[in-house]
Structure 1
């Protein structure tokens, strides 16, 4: 296997980030959370009141923002214009805005260039919506990770509840369905399964089962060369 990078795509709430982080540690490769990078863009747009329907404003925003990735104690840190915004990226409003900004060519072009540069110098695992189809089309292993909308809503509800954040599981599921529709129907780089990606439905699987399944696929391909 000449290209040792791993690409994981899938809808919101499928567990991509959690699983990719664990796989990176087990295989000792670099985890790049592309979703966090788009969330950083979204946070900037929210703060600056950028009109997401104005290409002129979007281009100006892209020209004036800088996003870099750093690591502290083995954990990825997202730096937006010299500010560590890692702890601000999981808010619902930021997630919803991320789906809105990701459809724009100007935003995606800037992010893809940075992500591809990272993959050229290190063996990486990336997760997102178009990693296997656009960002890393030559990845040695491509995974399309999914789960039912209800299962994904349950996971998000559990996550928020543990943090003491009031939430409604039905509303969360509706938000997830809306984001799925937006991601799958956007004009630029829509969410879809790459032709050579392995489908993994985690609805009835534990996190460890998913991790073991993907690592087994990866090691199998390494052995085959």
Structure 2
């Protein structure tokens, strides 16, 4: 068994797992992996290169060749800060559509596992606990009602000066949930030993503390 611990945080779109993962990693002094960013980076690269959404081999090749660097909470593609660019709805929608391609997932698998370095890793995504780090000692499945997630996403976009319609965001979230749960390759679902955490009525700080409390109990043994 790998001695480097991993806290795997999975969950649907806009459940807050990215923010939670960063703050948990910061509290523990661990590394962090935003696995969804790798799919969004692939989607952004595909849009910029004009790769068709149906061209699975070309998309897998683009994923394998990503020149990506994570620095603090910033993400760089070929040296360009694309932190905000990959959060655009167009990029997110495409990432959700291509994330089920088996070749693409295989191309990114080892890249994700390479983030596991001492003293530990907090990884967030859709299949961190089921596929990428099945031996993670703590697996959290973070959920929230679709309405709560739509409100959070709406607030994020407005704060960034991006116009957004909350009803359209809600429909989009539900469509992404359906795609993620129904795809053949690594569908969104909790690992058998995952602990479900509903953040619908929790603040970000409360959610982070809940995960840290879970880890405190596990690491005490």
Q: Is the pair's TM-score, using the shorter chain for normalization, greater than 0.5?
A: yes
Please name the residue that 1:207 is paired with: 204
2:115 is aligned, of 118, 138, 153, to: 118
The 2-side partners of 1:2 and 1:106 are apart by 29
- 1:135 is matched with 132
Q: How far apart, CA to CA, are the structure 2 residues paired with 1:210 and 1:156?
A: 17
2:62 equivalent in structure 1:
61
Partner of 1:96: 93
TM-score normalised by structure 1 residue count: 0.91
Which residue matches 1:197? 194
State the alpha-carbon separation in 1 of the partners of residues 32 and 91 from structure 2.
21
Distance between the aligned counterparts of 1:55 and 1:101, measured in 2? 8
1:37 aligns with 2:38: yes
Moved more, 117-126 or 190-199: 117-126
Q: What does residue range 1-225 of structure 1 map to in structure 2 within 5 Å?
A: 2-62=3-63, 65-71=65-71, 75-120=72-117, 123-224=120-221
Verify the 8 A CA contact 2:4 2:119 in the aligned structure 1.
Answer: no
Q: 1:164 to 1:78 in 2, by over 3 A?
A: closer
> 2: distance between equivalents of 1:119 and 1:91?
28
Q: d(CA) in 1 for partners of 2:22 and 2:60?
A: 32
Conserved? CA contact 1:10–1:145, under 8 Å: yes
The two structures, once aligned, show a CA RMSD in angstroms of 1.8
Question: Secondary structure of the residue that 1:200 maps to in structure 2?
Answer: strand
Describe the superposition over 1:167-209 as per-residue Cα deviations: whole angstroms up to 9, x where unpaired: 1111100000000000111111110010000000011111111
The verdict on how the C-alpha distance between 1:164 and 1:60 changes in structure 2, with shifts beyond 3 A counting, is closer
Matched residue SS, 1:205: coil
Distance 2:37 2:7 in 1: 17
The answer (yes or no) to whether the contact 2:4–2:118 under 8 Å persists in 1 is no
> Does the residue aligned with 2:129 lie in a helix, a strand or coil?
helix
TM-score for both structures, normalised by structure 2? 0.93
What's the CA shift for 1:121?
A: 5.3
Q: Which runs of 5+ in 2 are unaligned?
A: none
